[in-house]
Amino acid sequence: MFIDFEGIDGSGKTTLSNLLAERLRRLGYRVAHAREGGELRSPIARRIRELTRDSKLLEMSPRTEFFLNLARDAQQLEEVIAPALARGEVCISDRYLYSQLALSGGGRGMPETALEPACELASQGLWPDLVILVDVEPELARLRKRLGKSKGERAPDSDSRKGLAGAGLAVRMRESFLALAQQDPSRWLIIENNDLPLHVLEQRLVEAVVARLEGRELPAQRMTPPSATPVQVPTTVDEVEEHFFRILDGLEVREPQLAVWLLGGIPGFAAHQRRLGFLERFPGLTVRSLIGLDDEPARALRELLAEVVPQDVAMSLGTNPSPQAMSLRERLYAHAPADVLSSLKRNDSPEAWALREHALREGRLGEVLCGLAGVDDGPAWAARELGVRSGLYADAARSLTGLGSARADALRETLLAHDRLAVLRSVQGLDTPFAWQLRAALEDKALKLVLRSLTGLSTDEAFALRERGAPLTKEALDSLDGLDDPRAWRLREAFVSRWPATGVSSLEGLPMTEQAEALVLRALELTAARLPVLRNAYRLVAASHMAALPSERTPQRMAGDGAQRPVL
């Protein structure tokens, strides 16, 4: 029997396919997994996959990508799947030719009628007996992927070729998978991975597959988890807090690390209390959730964990230039130099340069460059020039972020031949001829990064680009963060139904006016208050509450103690 798992990135198909393989083996079945542990069994297929994921191959066309992916699947079929089936084994694959129909057809917009004959040729007539579609809300899948990056599984600013198209690609692929399932309901089983614990999903999946292996009738095509209670949607912004923490507390049981991650940047007593509850189990994730916060509880947690998870504490400082933050960086440097140096962006203070000069003596030029964004003095330019001579092209490009001078653009021109994506990231917020020429050249190759580079811009050209990009991907709304412009509001209102979580998050930094409240409540209603939208809504509400509070008072000194102590 041939079983194929399909779904968008971050859906959980790799985890579930491996769990199923292990359970079937324990039940006595002989099982071959074509992608055991997340790695393709065929060495040739692995080499081909490296090509299709390489984000530097910007000229690769959708058609070339399609044929390369077909070659990868054909090789897996020849080398792994067909031999396993010939031996009478149950063969499990993590993606097959359906993924190419969903990516190239639904995702890239190629006509499916042209793709299907090529897929048929690659299959040699061998198609799965059972296709398990692990269906998940794309925004939730994206949050899970971001959590994986935060744990070091991938570099935070890395992108695959699919990633460069923007988050809208996953939305279109999901729609394509669901359409494929509807066309062949006897072959496809849809299992939702939104709200149920992993062990429950695993058990339901095993029962359904064993029923098929034993020739018994399968359950309904969609294994939809029953809802214990009717969905409640906040009808006022005052109700958002209660709804958010109720759902977050439920998530803690199923995915506790994701629950911690979703507290990121949220101020206030309720969020802080929950951080304390996670502290012992997940100290690193807990302190990373303080990014963007500089209140007394945040400072106290950093002090408490500085020696336990120094790297995470350094990351949590963001680019905070305060004396307290700089003092903490000096203590953390010995344990987390790369993260300390990266957090010095836009900081040209003597203390920041003392840390950089110490790092340069240790030979940490690349790490110094990563923290030079927005710094435009002589030593910074000397470091950049040394970086170029040393071949540190991507790091040198990152160091130019926020600089719109002729000198910066001249260096970008030099670096284009080495790393176009790093140069593109460096033009964020810039309204210069070079920046616009680069955006025009890469709009059809790296739409996500092009749109994000518009953050803070309110020119006609920026809004024209956003209007072109908004039907395709959410990053067009991402670039509206904090913009209180009539054109920004028109885009938010036009596309909140397509990108509800991003429509809400783009209000960050704006006051909670009637117009903002109406947009938030509409997004919640459209999505039945799903967690990604609810979380973004509560971040706005919590920030507005904190803004309305009196200034933080200086903590009282303990009797007989000359130093101020942080209060948890």
Report the chain's mean pLDDT, rounded to a whole number: 92
CB 168 within 8 A of CB 474: yes
CA distances from 66 to 62, 74, 80, 490 (A): 6, 12, 21, 36
- Per-residue pLDDT band for 560 (boundaries 50, 70, 90) equals very low
Instruction: Report pLDDT for 157.
Output: 57
Instruction: Report pLDDT for 148.
Output: 83
pLDDT one-digit tens code per residue, 155-197: 555 678 999 999 999 999 999 999 999 999 999 999 999 988 8
CB 306 within 8 A of CB 328: yes
Instruction: Report pLDDT for 124.
Output: 95
- Per-residue pLDDT band for 432 (boundaries 50, 70, 90) equals very high
With a cut of 50, say whether residue 359 has pLDDT above it: yes
- Known binding-site residues equal 7-14
With a cut of 60, say whether residue 551 has pLDDT above it: no
Phi, psi of 476 (to 5 degrees): -60, -35
Query: Both tokens of residue 341?
Result: 């140096």
Beta bridge partners, 468, equal none
Q: How far apart are CA 43 and CA 72, in angstroms?
A: 10
With a cut of 50, say whether residue 554 has pLDDT above it: no
Q: Pick the closest to residue 150 from 6, 70, 260 (CA basis).
A: 260
Q: Which string of DSSP letters, residue by residue, matches 119-184? A: HHHHHTT---SEEEEEE--HHHHHHHHHHHHHTTSS-TT---HHHHT-THHHHHHHHHHHHHHHH-
Residue 352 CB partners (closer than 8 Å, separation 6+) = 321, 326, 344
What is the dihedral angle through the alpha carbons of 539, 545, 551, 553, rounded to the nearest 10 degrees? -90
pLDDT one-digit tens code per residue, 311-338: 999 999 999 999 999 999 999 999 999 9
Beta bridge partners, 222, equal 190
What is the dihedral angle through the alpha carbons of 229, 230, 236, 240, rounded to the nearest 10 degrees? 40
pLDDT one-digit tens code per residue, 465-476: 999 999 999 999
Return the DSSP state at 101: I
Q: How far apart are CA 77 and CA 471, in angstroms?
A: 36
- Per-residue pLDDT band for 564 (boundaries 50, 70, 90) equals very low
Query: Both tokens of residue 131?
Result: 């296709």
Sort 514 into a burial class: Cβ within 10 Å, 0-12 / 13-18 / 19+.
exposed
- Please compute the mean of the pLDDT values over residues 444-451 and round it to a whole number: 97
Residue 49 CB partners (closer than 8 Å, separation 6+) = 40, 72
With a cut of 90, say whether residue 553 has pLDDT above it: no
With a cut of 60, say whether residue 87 has pLDDT above it: yes
Beta bridge partners, 4, equal 93, 131
To the nearest whole percent, how much of the chain has pLDDT over 70? 93
Q: How far apart are CA 55 and CA 346, in angstroms?
A: 28
- Per-residue pLDDT band for 454 (boundaries 50, 70, 90) equals very high
CB-based burial, 101-110: b 16+ in 10 Å, e otherwise: bbbbbbbbeb
CB 223 within 8 A of CB 192: yes
Q: Pick the closest to residue 80 from 47, 50, 44, 49 (CA basis).
A: 44
Does the model's pTM come out above 0.75? yes
**What residue has token string 């992993």?**
198
Residue 501 CB partners (closer than 8 Å, separation 6+) = 139, 474, 523, 527, 532, 533, 536
To the nearest whole percent, how much of the chain has pLDDT over 90? 88
Instruction: Report pLDDT for 229.
Output: 61
Calculate ∠ Cα 513-518-520, nearest 5°.
95
With a cut of 80, say whether residue 565 has pLDDT above it: no
**Is domain 2-223 in CATH 3.40.50.300, yes or no?**
yes
Instruction: Report pLDDT for 345.
Output: 97
Rg (CA), the chain: 25
Instruction: Report pLDDT for 41.
Output: 95
Instruction: Report pLDDT for 347.
Output: 97
- Please compute the mean of the pLDDT values over residues 74-78 and round it to a whole number: 97
- Per domain, the residue ranges of the chain are 2-223
CB 93 within 8 A of CB 128: yes
pLDDT one-digit tens code per residue, 243-271: 999 999 999 999 999 999 999 999 999 99
Residue 528 has a CB neighbour count (10 Å cut-off) of 11
- Known binding-site residues for ATP equal 7-14
Instruction: Report pLDDT for 557.
Output: 33
Q: How far apart are CA 499 and CA 381, in angstroms?
A: 40
Instruction: Report pLDDT for 549.
Output: 67
Query: Both tokens of residue 184?
Result: 């062949």
Instruction: Report pLDDT for 159.
Output: 76
pLDDT one-digit tens code per residue, 400-413: 999 999 999 999 99
With a cut of 60, say whether residue 154 has pLDDT above it: no
